[in-house]
């Protein structure tokens, strides 16, 4: 399906924000959008507090693993959304780039991650309206 928009979420460790964003987009948009996530310096595992926070809303990300950001992942995506990785995301003409300012959930408990999860959901809902009506 060449007409299906693709979105790449990028944060440093690909262990919290980008994993939650990818899960929300896949959950809310279904097969209308192709979803990827990656990190400029991937962590060893997805943040357990992010896993717990997403499980509370019925989304299981426990089997996800952090992935390294590649040039191909950016090339293959229509929209690249960074979340605190700064200039590490390669820029290509014709792509749409967004930078979402979100608190880093690294090292925080689930109580601190819930508001980040909910903020990401709101941003994802707005994104879906824009790219996959």
The tokens describing 80, both together, are: 């690249």
Concerning whether 80 is annotated as a catalytic residue, the answer is no
Encode pLDDT of 83-122 as tens digits: 876 656 667 778 899 999 999 999 999 999 999 999 999 9
Which residue out of 8, 10, 11, 51 is catalytically annotated? 11
Instruction: List all residues 6 or more positions away from 34 whose beta carbon is below 8 Å from its beta carbon.
Output: 4, 5, 6, 7
Distance CA 95, CA 59 (A): 29
Percentage with pLDDT > 70 across the chain: 92
**Lowest model confidence (mean pLDDT) among 7-11, 30-34, 80-84:** 80-84
**pLDDT confidence of 1, banded at 50, 70, 90?**
very low
Task: Kindly name the residue from 26, 51, 74, 85 that is annotated as catalytic.
Answer: 85
Examine the residue annotation and report whether 85 is marked as an active-site residue of this protein.
Answer: yes
Catalytic residue among 49, 89, 123, 124: 89
Q: Quick count: other Cβ atoms within 10 Å of Cβ 63?
A: 7
Other Cβ atoms within 10 Å of 65 Cβ, number: 12
**pLDDT recorded at residue 100:** 94
Task: Render pLDDT for 45-67 as a digit per residue (tens, 0 to 9).
Answer: 999 999 999 999 999 999 999 99
Active site residue 89: yes
Rounded to 10 degrees, what is the CA torsion of 14, 19, 25, 31? 90
Whole-model pTM? 0.93
């Amino acid at each position: 399906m060449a007409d299906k928009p693709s979105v790449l979420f990028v944060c440093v460790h690909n262990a919290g924000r980008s994993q939650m964003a990818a899960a929300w987009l896949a959950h809310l948009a279904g097969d209308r959008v192709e979803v990827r996530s990656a990190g400029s310096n991937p962590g060893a595992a997805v943040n357990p507090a992010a896993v717990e926070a997403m499980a509370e809303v019925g989304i299981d990300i426990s089997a996800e693993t952090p992935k390294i950001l590649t040039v191909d992942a950016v090339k293959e995506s229509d929209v690249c959304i960074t979340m605190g990785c700064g200039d590490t995301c390669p820029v290509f003409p014709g792509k749409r780039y967004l930078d979402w300012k979100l608190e880093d959930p690294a090292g925080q408990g689930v109580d601190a991650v819930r508001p980040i999860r909910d903020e990401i959901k709101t941003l994802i809902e707005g994104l879906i309206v824009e790219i996959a009506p």
